[in-house]
Each structure stands twice: as structure tokens, then as C-alpha cells.
Amino acid sequence: MKRDQNSFRGCLVGGAIGDALGAPVEFMQLDEIISQYGPDGIQDLVISSSEKALITDDTQMTLFTAEGILRSETRRVTKGICHPPSVVFHAYQRWLLTQGYPRVPEYEWVYDGWLLDIEALHACRAPGVSCLTALRSEDHGTMDDPINTSRGCGGAMRSAPVGLFYRREEAFQLAAEMAALTHGHPSGFLSAGALAYLIDALIEGFDLETAVTKTLMILKKYEGHEKCTKKLELAEKLSKMGSFDDEAIALLGGGWVGEEALAIAVYCALKYQHDFRKALQTAVNHSGDSDSIGAITGNILGVYLGLNGIPVEWIEKVELKDVLIQIADDLLIDYDESNIDRKRYPGY
């Protein structure tokens, strides 16, 4: 079992690095990327005026997902009952506040917490339309009562913390429910469940190939799984065929929707599973959703290789490194009434 600080930190820091690596080329076609960065595309983190490589809404929402999970656990321990997706919904309302949207009077009591005090999290970094629209509606989308028909990757990109904190089938189910808050198509929320389950399988100590196989097995139990299953199986196949990466990724799609983003990330992780740098470079150099695919790839290989398997210079350059490490360490805690940090994670 890899339930240790190295793997937890690797998962969240690795995701942020993939996000930051892909951010400068997110909306560029491959030929534009090559024209600007050279024949191999973007190879290193782009450093901003703040002397850090900037993350996007992908990492912002990942942090707020983790905060919501931890606050829901406080509520479970102190109150004896909790619905984690509802507490995570409130965390997303705090994220919405950081993006410049007004407080909602109905939720006035949720606008607190240490993440709100982090100035860098108040930067607006191209947040997804589905997330913004769903959260501003104040309705709670569910798997059975979808809020929309979006199958975008905005549900999957933020779901790694669910796989870190919860186990097995519960991780899948809760990640899917949390994604369904904003993404109503099965591919939009099942891709999130699949990523969380995959993360948990890696924590449990399975090799990457076995973890993907186990993820497919549980995925197939859910209604509407077909699109996700087809793409993931294709990713498995392509990773073993020796295909050119640009051709393989083109077959998997652009990554703007959940099943494609997850499949491309799995392809990159499987093909370059012992080379974090090469996997992330492959994940972002294409004409699709570079930052989200980079983030998911970083989550997967980050937990698999651990923080020690990530280039040190990338760790030091990524924005909010210390915040990511703090959240990762907090997710690792085995909760009981004596060690909950109630001030940091109140139960609401």
C-alpha cells in the first residue's frame, strides 16, 4: 500500500505541474505550439513575473474539492452524519467567490476557510463555462437529476483528492456525485469517478496496468459508461502499439470532454509510466485541452511515482507548492476526534 506522504504529495503537486505546463498552450493548435516552442513543442514550465509557473482553474478547483472533503469529514465525526457532495458544493461556492462572483445570501455562512485567504487563488484563470453556470444557478446537480448535459472534463480534472481520501467503490461513487454537481452527462461524471478509483487503486499498491483494468471493471457497472469505456480501452491498446504520440492522441480526441481527457492522460501515463517529464510533455503537446490533460496525467503519475519521482526543479517552480503539500498532508490524516483541525476545516 502506498498510503504515504510521498504519494499524496506527488498526486497533488504533480497535477499542478501538469496544469501549469499545459496552461500556456491550452488554446493553441499543435502547429502553433511547434512554431512558438520548437519542433518538440513546449518542454518546460513557463515562469511568470511572480517567478512561478501559474496554475489554472483545474488546480484551484482541485484544492477546493480537497477542502470540501476534509470539512465533510469534520462534520461526519462531530455530527455523526454528512453528505460529502453537499459540503463540496459549498466549497465550490467559495471558489466561485474567488472568481469575482458575489456572495449568495442563502450561503452566507459558508464563506470562510483558509483557502479564501490565499491571494493567488483569487486569480481568474479561464474557468470552465459549465462549472460557472452550474454553480451560479445554486442548484445541486446529481447523477439521477442532472443539472445539464455537459460532458466536459471539468468534473474529472478536480477529482484526484476523492481517490486520495476515499476507498474503492466509495471513491468512484462520491467522485461521480461531486462531478455531477456541475456536469450532467454520464461521461462528465463517470470520468471523474474512474479517475478517483484509479488513484485509489494506485494507492493500494497495484501497478498501473492492473489499476486501469480494475477501473474499467467498475466503470462498466454504471449506466452510460460506454463512451468512457471505449476511450479507456483504446488508450490501453494504443499505449502498447508503439504508435506516434500525436497520431494516438488524435485518435483519442481533443480532451475537452471527460472521457477523452481521462483516456489521453491514461495513455500518456501508461506509455511513459517511469518518466514523469516525458509523460507530461506528451500530455500537453497537442491541439486539445492541454492543461486539464496535463493535470490528470500529473495526478496519476504523481501518486504512482511519488513526489520523489517528479523533477525537483518543477516542484520548486510551480505556483502554490506549499498549499498543495499542506492539503495533501491533511488528506493523509486518519481522522478521529482528537486530531481534526476544526479551525482549518470546520464541519460545514
Q: Which residues are annotated as part of the binding site for Mg(2+)?
A: 56-58, 289, 291-292
Q: Are 276 and 305 in contact (CB under 8 A)?
A: yes
Residues at the binding site are 56-58, 289, 291-292
Q: Which residues of 15-26 are buried (b: 16+ CB within 10 A; e: fewer)?
A: bbbbbbbbbbbb
With contact defined as beta carbons under 8 Å apart, do 319 and 52 qualify? yes
Buried b (16+ CB within 10 A) or exposed e, 38-63: eeebbeebeeeeeebbbbbbbbbbbb
φ, ψ of residue 275 in degrees (nearest 5): -135, 85
Q: What are phi and psi of 247, to 5 degrees?
A: -70, -40
Q: What's the grid cell of residue 46?
A: 513557463
Q: For residues 15 and 12, what is the distance between their CA atoms, to the nearest angstrom?
A: 5
156, 195 contact by CB (below 8 A): yes
Cell of 293: 490533460
Whole-angstrom distance, CA of residue 156 vs CA of residue 173: 13
Phi then psi dihedrals of residue 207, to 5 deg: -70, 165
202 and 181 in contact (C-beta within 8 Å)? no
Contact 175, 207 (CB under 8 A): no
